[in-house]
Structure 1
Amino acid sequence: MSTISTFLKSYTSRRTQYQLKKALPEGVTLQQVQDIVQQLVKHTPTSFNSQTVRAVILTGALHDKVWQSVTDAIPAEAQKKRPNSIKEEAYGSIIFFDDGAALKKIQEAFPPYADYFPIFASTSNGAAQINTWTLIGELGLGGHLQHYNPLVQEALKGKVPESWNVVAQLAFGVPVGEPSEKEFIDNEVKVLSE
């Protein structure tokens, strides 16, 4: 199989998997997960090479504590299900951030683009998230992306630099169920030229 086919197979088979077991696949180490995240954060393209993407991996008691804090902060019982399941079922969470200090520095260096850099940073962060999600799948991990940003930010206060702003959380573990079938809209990519 060609490299392109292999990449596309990995990319297109990635799915949201909510049913997880609080474990790593046999033979997989946390170091392997960390290495993937590190390489993707390092090599994800950023506008003007601003390098605004940051990440941490939560596991163990801290993972449980953060998600318990998120669950406790949600007033409606019906909305507590997902963060509570992350605490109970996910082995860990990869928390993605944008570094506000790096963002401010690039905004000051290129004032004409200052208003656009937060958008550019979000684009880069999204690329790091989806590529991480795809590659940890190659290790046999399943996951789902969440956005409890202000609640996770509060729970991590004092544990990460103040300039880091939470963008997304990728909960991961061993999948114990099949993901739902994905339905696709008609969204043909057209070639335009003159």
Structure 2
Amino acid sequence: MRTDFYTAIEKRRSYYALGKEAVTSDTRIQEVVEHAVKHVPSAFNSQSTRVCILLGSQHDTLWEMTTNILKETVGPDADFTATQQRMDGFKAAYGTILFFEDEEVVKQLQERFPLYADNFPLWSEQTSGMHQFAIWTGLEAEGYGASLQHYNPLIDVAVAQKWAIPNTWKLRAQMPFGNPLAEPNEKTFQPLDTRVKIYK
């Protein structure tokens, strides 16, 4: 169930009610991710973004791990009900995309181009955001819903140990995705004439 580019951008929303039904093949999910990683731009063509796709039991493990870490963080006396519901919702999804930035790439660019050294970390974040948007929209075009989560740095060490992540990869975001089970909340928009200026 593919959609055109502009419709995919419009429909790309934060979906929280997700299921484990396969909307497309795992091979197609990999193709969507790899296409974005290959073609999304980066400053100085640094190609610093790294991605890990978690499916099946690996996806479940991530959210069980995250749940346990959060419970330890807040302590036994905290009301964990709302957070548990959120974790259960993410685990109920089909898979998760983990987004990383390779800090070694950034460091090398800083050394090669010292005049721009302060900007390379910022540019790294920008390319990470573009990859997140491209993959999110690509999954939407295939019929999946997704949301973007940020449980880093709390889960960084556990993730790195579990999936043998190189120590130069810095976790930036987690994107659970699955077949949408409910529509997202209504989205409001600020007037475009306050956000876009055109000069001719």
Pair in the same fold by TM > 0.5: yes
Structure 1 window deviating more from structure 2 (139-148 vs 74-83): it is: 74-83
Structure 2: runs of 5+ lacking an equivalent:
none
2:169 to 150, 164, 169: 164
CA distance in 1 between partners of 2:192 and 2:122 (Å)? 24
What CA distance in whole angstroms lies between the structure 1 residues aligned with 2:52 and 2:100?
Answer: 8
Quick one: distance in 2 between partners of 1:82 and 1:117? 34
User: What residue in structure 1 maps to residue 22 of structure 2?
Assistant: 24
Please give the alpha-carbon distance, in whole angstroms, between the structure 1 residues aligned to 2:155 and 2:30. Answer: 20
* Structure 1 residues 93 and 60: CA distance shift in structure 2, 3 A: same
Please give the alpha-carbon distance, in whole angstroms, between the structure 2 residues aligned to 1:125 and 1:96: 7
Q: Is the Cα–Cα contact under 8 Å of residues 141 and 174 in structure 1 kept in the other structure?
A: yes
Q: Which residue of 1 aligns with 2:89?
A: 85
Structure 1 residue 48 and structure 2 residue 55: aligned?
no
Counterpart Cα distance in 2 of 1:79 and 1:125: 26
Asked if structure 2 preserves the Cα contact closer than 8 Å seen for 1:66 and 1:152, the reply is: no
Structure 2 match to 1:179: 184
Q: CA deviation at 1:8?
A: 1.6
Quickly say closer, same or farther: Cα 1:122–1:18, change in 2 above 3 A: same
Mapped contact 2:160–2:167 kept (Cα < 8 A): yes
Structure 1 length normalisation: TM-score? Answer: 0.90
- Which SS does the other structure have where 2:124 is aligned? helix
Q: Comparing 150-159 with 165-174, which one deviates more in the overlay?
A: 150-159
CA contact (8 A) 2:69 2:155 kept: no
Superposed displacement of residue 160, structure 1: 1.1
CA distance, structure 1, for counterparts of residue 139 and residue 129 of structure 2: 15
Residue identity opposite 1:178 in structure 2:
E
Who is 2:30 aligned against?
Answer: 34
State how 1:102-141 maps to structure 2 within 5 Å.
Answer: 102-141=105-144
Residue type of the partner of 1:19? A
Q: Deviations over 1:129-180 (max 9, x none)?
A: 1111111111111111111111332221232111101111111001111111
Instruction: State TM-score, norm by structure 2.
Output: 0.87
Alpha-carbon shift at residue 50 of structure 1 (Å): 0.9
Amino acid at match of 1:115: D
Aligned residues: 186
RMSD over aligned Cα atoms? 1.6
User: In structure 1, what is the Cα distance between the partners aligned to 2:17 and 2:42?
Assistant: 33
Alpha-carbon distance in structure 1 between the residues aligned to 2:19 and 2:176: 11
Tell me which residue corresponds to 1:15: 13
Report how far residue 91 of structure 1 moved.
Answer: 0.8
Matched residue of 1:174: which SS? strand
Shift of 1:6: 3.3
Paired with 1:24 and 1:118, the residues of 2 have a C-alpha distance of 36
